[in-house]
Amino acid sequence: MCGAGLAASQVPLAAWAGEAKDQPEIWGRTVLPQPFDREPFREVRLPAWVQELVGVGYTLSGQDRQHRARAAQAGVAISELGFVDPFYAYYDSKLLRRRSPHVPLDRLKHDVAEYKELGLRILGVYPPSLQGEVYENHPDWRHVSTDTREVPQIDLAKFPHGGMLCLLGPYGDFFIEVLAEILTLFPEVDAFSFDGLHYAGVCYCGHCREAYRRESRAELPAVNLEDLAFRRYQHWADRRLEDLIRRMQRRLKGLKPDAALVTWTTNAGRFGHFLDIPRNMPARMNLLLDAPDMEFWLDETNRGATVVPAFGCAYLWAVTGHRVGFAEPYLMSRGTPYGKDSFPAHEIERRMLLALTHGAGPSIAVGQPPHLQEAVYHCLGEVRRRRPWLTHKEPEPWAAVLMSDNTRTFYGRNPGLVEQRYLAHVFGAFRALLEEHLPFTVICDWDLTEAGLAKYQVLLLPNSACLDQAQAQAIRQFVSRGGGLAASADAGLCDEFGTPRAQPELAEVLGIERRGLAPAAPAGRQLDANLSRNLPPGYWEKCRGVWDFTFAPQSFLDTPPMRALLGTDPVTFKGSAVQASPASPSARVVARLQPKPGESGEALPAVITNQFGKGRVVYLPAAFDAANYLFAYPYQRLVLRQAVEWAAPAPPPIRVQAPRCVHAVAFRQKKNGQRLVVHLFNDVNTTAFHGLPGDDVPLREEVLPIYDVRITFHGYSIPRVHLEPGGQDLPVNRAADTLEVRVPRLDIHGMVVAELG
């Protein structure tokens, strides 16, 4: 197991860290601080070419020139080239001495030249925390996953790739220097990509122990998110990893100012990554990447047949600061085992166009089995046809929906429970606004500032439990100045570490006093035998409670659509609830939960309204948002819609009339003038609900067209509206400051482009 010593061992790590001087021009806006920040956190400023980037295509490194040329013709603009693998370096490195015997010395030079001849940008690949030579020669750089002082050992003869390395210690600086060496020897490299750029939730190596003791004056705690000490450690490790990426950007951009990190992220929208608790990387770190890319899985383990994949793409775009990010649809039929068996070619286009509808650029593995290859080229071409309307975009603001990474981790706390405890609330709110075609934007923890909220009319906090005092103050200011607020369940109950407060930080804004959780379903409740034998284990535990729901006549809930669904009798509410009572002179209970007939218990407020300053507030102690995802009675969607519209001080500037299967997402594009781009995506699945619901997967083979989608614009000066791709001018009907257009037919995807005067 002995080998040649690393040249790197002779280079002082402190010298590496100090070589690259900071260039202020590589940094953009400053965002909200987090615990253990040692300097202001600023997002990276994107190179111009990244802002124009469309057409990320993988697997070209393993293809010949003919296939590379075909991919470039189809629209691929950047693809990967490997420089280091877990076993070897592919070039003569002064830091990694083991050069691959499988890759000829001139291969990289040949590939680099060929990529450039074909007009392809080069995405250099390095495995960030798996490298056998480093693992062997630096035992103290190894990642230690359990609370032990023993150094992990692996049989390197059997597993020459070694094991995971710790990015939070000296290896992180070595890693940066290998990248700098590659960029120096191959200045044609445009960007770098890493698979597994994370710290795996916790590390107990000697370097982490020493650093944590020095910086927090405490010992590394055991993994236990119920323990405040470990939640503090998680924030510390997050900052440590962010600092690595910050140093990396300084070093690489010091060598080549437009070098970029176009790389995989493990915390940006894929459902499986939402279950990574403790988290592997903070969502905020995505702001330090020039363009994060998400593995976009729609298999049954990632809720493929639900609204979650659409949310994942919207959230990916949110964690980029609504700049540039990508989602690669995996072309798998199902999981366990993963494979492309019977995968319909039509579904490739569906997944790619779904991603771009919600703000993420679709990336794709270009090399596919022969029966899917031409379909991939076709889909790349469809993205290329839309390219003029995909870049330099930002959300067209009206409503903002918070997805809180701190709440997911420190309030959710358990990968098996986080969907019920938190994610269901966000998914249910997202579903309601999407199906009601209200314009909305997914935002992140760091967007909760006075400046960040000022552009929106209404803010949704779906069980956003973890808010620090600065965020809460920004929300107070937003509402007091006239902004609308709709919040549910435990919004504001916990601080940034997930520690509960005696009362929610926003209690006076909500106009309530919290009195604890509502009682769960009575243990002795008898179920109909025909129903109970078909319920999965833990059904009532998941349900938490079943009540009758009633709303007050002449309240904002009393509308013809609600009456059409509910009539005048009480209806069932299934889901979780908080006990809260009005505590403000302006607070009003406009809906209640009451025990089912024959059951004991008190009636509970279900919807409370309040006036705070100039702003209207709706608080939902009954979690209609989570219920709209977990159980989905149609009236729950209307409760959410009407709460948002009532709280908002101004109506939506864009309204869409279409079936609920149509996703309508509005962007503003600032390039060669200004325009509104409304994406329309037809999400019909003609075989939906024919399989086992929990295991259903979208494998669509055909289009069911949608006709006569109507879009109304309010308050804009619009001289021309056209449908893209294709350039079809749409006739307009004008009245006062309102303009309406009709899309005669929607197949999979189209863009209504309104040029602004």
CA distance linking residue 234 with residue 212, whole number of Å? 11
Instruction: Specify the DSSP class assigned to residue 499.
Output: P
Task: Calculate mean pLDDT across residues 323-343.
Answer: 92
Binning pLDDT at 50, 70 and 90, where does residue 20 land?
Answer: very low
- pLDDT > 90: what percent of the chain? 89
Rounded to 5 degrees, φ, ψ at 721 are -130, 130
Asked if residue 364 lies in contact with residue 380, where contact means CB atoms within 8 angstroms, the answer is yes
CATH of domain 7-391: 3.20.20.80
Q: Beta 604-612 vs 615-620: how paired, if at all?
A: antiparallel
Those residues whose C-beta lies under 8 Å from the C-beta of residue 377, and which sit 6 or more positions away, are: 70, 71, 74
Convert 643-679 to b/e letters by CB count within 10 Å (16 or more is b). bbbbbbeeebbbbbebeeebbbbbbbbeeeeebbbbb
CA distance linking residue 70 with residue 79, whole number of Å? 13
Task: Calculate mean pLDDT across residues 368-379.
Answer: 97
> Residue 216 is which amino acid?
S
**Predicted confidence (pLDDT) per residue in 613-671, tens digit:** 999 999 999 999 999 999 999 999 999 999 999 999 999 999 999 999 999 999 999 98
Task: Calculate mean pLDDT across residues 125-154.
Answer: 97
List the Cα angle 687/691/696 in 5-degree steps: 85
Predicted pLDDT of residue 415: 96
Predicted pLDDT of residue 520: 66
CA distance linking residue 458 with residue 667, whole number of Å? 17
CATH of domain 399-652: 3.40.50.880
**Predicted confidence (pLDDT) per residue in 723-741, tens digit:** 999 999 999 999 999 999 9
Task: Calculate mean pLDDT across residues 6-31.
Answer: 57
Predicted pLDDT of residue 29: 96
Check whether 707 has a pLDDT greater than 50.
yes
**Predicted confidence (pLDDT) per residue in 274-298, tens digit:** 999 999 999 999 999 999 999 999 9
Average pLDDT over all residues of the chain: 93
Rounded to 5 degrees, φ, ψ at 92 are -75, 100
Which H helix or E strand runs over 405?
helix 405-406
List the Cα angle 633/635/640 in 5-degree steps: 110
Check whether 527 has a pLDDT greater than 80.
no
CA torsion 520→523→528→534, rounded to 10°? 70
Check whether 544 has a pLDDT greater than 70.
no
CA torsion 642→646→647→650, rounded to 10°? 120
CATH of domain 655-755: 2.60.40.1180
| Domain 7-391 matches domain 399-652 at the CATH topology level | no
Closest CA to 382 of 394, 371, 390, 392: 390
Residues in the chain, how many?
757
Residue with tokens 């006990």: 579
Q: Is the peptide bond before 337 cis (omega within 30 degrees of 0)?
A: yes
Domains of the chain, residue spans: 7-391, 399-652, 655-755
- The pTM of this model reads 0.95
CA distance linking residue 610 with residue 480, whole number of Å? 12
Predicted pLDDT of residue 334: 87
